């Protein structure tokens, strides 16, 4: 089965919105969660990027390896941004390996802040406070239904930002 670049971009965008809903949350030992602090530019690679190993969740229309090649092509033509690492050797040559990828646009930034605001308005704290010995401790909560809120946040983001369109990219 074939998939066009436009359809693939729609699926990457959907996956990125779903990742953004959970990516702004930090999970702590003991079950507490806290809201990510920082700006979009500081946190986008953690909060919004899709990991290359999760690409099978994007679409089943093309195979896992073929999808990797398509993602690389979208990166080469500037449609998506990738975080790369060098250090892999293939036939004696050092090559770059894609680790994560995302559509970096104004709507992605807005989705990041909307996700943060959603979690904040549902009782998830952010920031730190000082312990008696002077160390910083992150504000967390265990008083929310994480799974339920995650579904609601994903639904909100997909409903608001919908399908990716080429005008979004830039």
Residues 6+ apart with CB under 8 A from 55: 64, 67, 68, 71
Q: Which two tokens stand for residue 44?
A: 């986008």
Q: How many domains does the chain have?
A: 1
pLDDT value for 153: 98
Reply yes or no on whether the pLDDT at 119 is more than 90. yes
**Number of residues assigned to the chain:** 170
Instruction: State which residues form the domain around 96.
Output: 5-168
DSSP letter at 92? T
The kind and range of the H/E element at 31 are none
Given a contact cutoff of 8 angstroms between Cβ atoms, the answer to whether 36 and 43 are in contact is yes
- The model's pLDDT over 58-117, given as tens digits with 9 standing for 90+, comes to 999 999 889 988 998 998 899 998 886 555 555 666 555 668 899 999 999 999 999 999
Q: Which two tokens stand for residue 91?
A: 């036939």
pLDDT value for 131: 87
How many angstroms separate the Cα of 145 from the Cα of each of 18, 19, 49, 110, 152? 17, 18, 24, 24, 11
């Amino acid at each position: 089965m074939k998939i066009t670049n436009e359809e693939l971009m729609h699926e990457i965008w959907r996956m990125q919105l779903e990742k953004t809903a959970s990516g702004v949350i930090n999970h702590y030992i003991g079950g507490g969660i806290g809201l990510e602090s920082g700006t979009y530019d500081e946190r986008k690679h953690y909060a919004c990027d899709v990991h290359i190993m999760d690409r099978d969740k994007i679409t089943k229309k093309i195979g896992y390896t073929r999808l990797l090649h398509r993602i690389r092509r979208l990166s080469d033509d500037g449609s998506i941004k990738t975080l790369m690492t060098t250090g892999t050797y293939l036939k004696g040559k050092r090559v770059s390996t894609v680790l994560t990828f995302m559509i970096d646009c104004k709507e992605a930034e807005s989705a990041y802040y909307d996700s943060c605001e959603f979690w904040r308005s549902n009782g998830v704290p952010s920031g730190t406070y000082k312990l008696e010995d002077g160390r910083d401790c992150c504000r967390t909560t265990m008083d929310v239904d994480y799974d339920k809120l995650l579904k609601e946040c994903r639904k909100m983001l997909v409903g608001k930002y919908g399908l990716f369109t080429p005008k979004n990219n830039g």
